[in-house]
Amino acid sequence: MKILMVLTSHDALGDTGKKTGFWLEELAAPYFRFKDAGAEIVLASPAGGQPPLDPKSNEPDFQTDDTHRFEADDAAKAQLAETVELKSVRPNDFDAVFYPGGHGPLWDLAEDRDSIGLIETALRADIPVALVCHAPGVLRHVTSPDGQPLVKGRTVTGFTNGEEDGVGLTDIVPFLVEDELIKLGGDYSKGPDWASYVVRDGILITGQNPNSSAEAATALIDLLQKA
């Protein structure tokens, strides 16, 4: 079992002067679910090398057993420091693709042609794709073979408008994930803000928020093991 995890390379939180990037729990929880299931993991990002960590995600209030485990794992941190360039990735080399969120993906991965092509190629080759929190926004330009938005008519979830309002970034982000998925024709649903909520539509898995990352990873593993 070989799983590709795609991380953002974007570190600027709009014009606020603050930093963003990927959310640590959304990398760490799936990373160890996959490792513990015996998977080989490859980390990729548009720029390659060390992707930017959203500093807020490593504050005490947002640390978890998984983030502590990641911070203590020298091999995991070394792998993170040397992500491969996304443009070099061949989807057919993998059994599944997983996108952690954080706000960064809204700026780069949502517009990145390599990311868009990766997801389109993977799904058309029956390779499962899972995305959590803000990462479902990366689907905004991904299309089905008929040219329609990929999410049109599909069951999806992602970071809610209420959650974005709760972190005070509604007017900062380039688009709201919930609004975008609905605009594209997705059958969007959500659970309570900040509670784990994951939906699956065929080989497409989406999770609502950071707390959904472990459940989304488990759903992906279950899908692969039943294939």
Rounded mean pLDDT of 164-182? 97
d(CA 176, CA 154): 18
Separation of CA 120 from chain center: 15
- The enclosing domain of 169 has a CATH number of 3.40.50.880
**In whole numbers, what is the pLDDT of the chain averaged over residues?**
97
The number of distinct structural domains making up the chain is 1
Question: What does the pLDDT look like over 5-62, one tens digit per residue?
Answer: 999 999 999 999 999 999 999 999 999 999 999 999 999 999 999 999 999 999 999 9
Instruction: Say whether pTM exceeds 0.75.
Output: yes
Per-residue pLDDT tens digits for 52-64: 999 999 999 999 9
Alpha-carbon 29 to chain mean position: 12
Spatial distance between the Cα atoms of 201 and 79, rounded to a whole number of angstroms: 31
Residue 227 pLDDT > 80, yes or no? no
pLDDT, mean of residues 173-182: 98
| Phi and psi based region of residue 156 (left: phi greater than 0; alpha: psi -120 to 50; beta: remaining) | beta
| Pick from 51, 54, 102, 46: nearest CA to 77 | 51
What range defines the domain where residue 77 resides?
A: 2-226
Contact 75, 7 (CB under 8 A): no
- pLDDT recorded at residue 226: 85
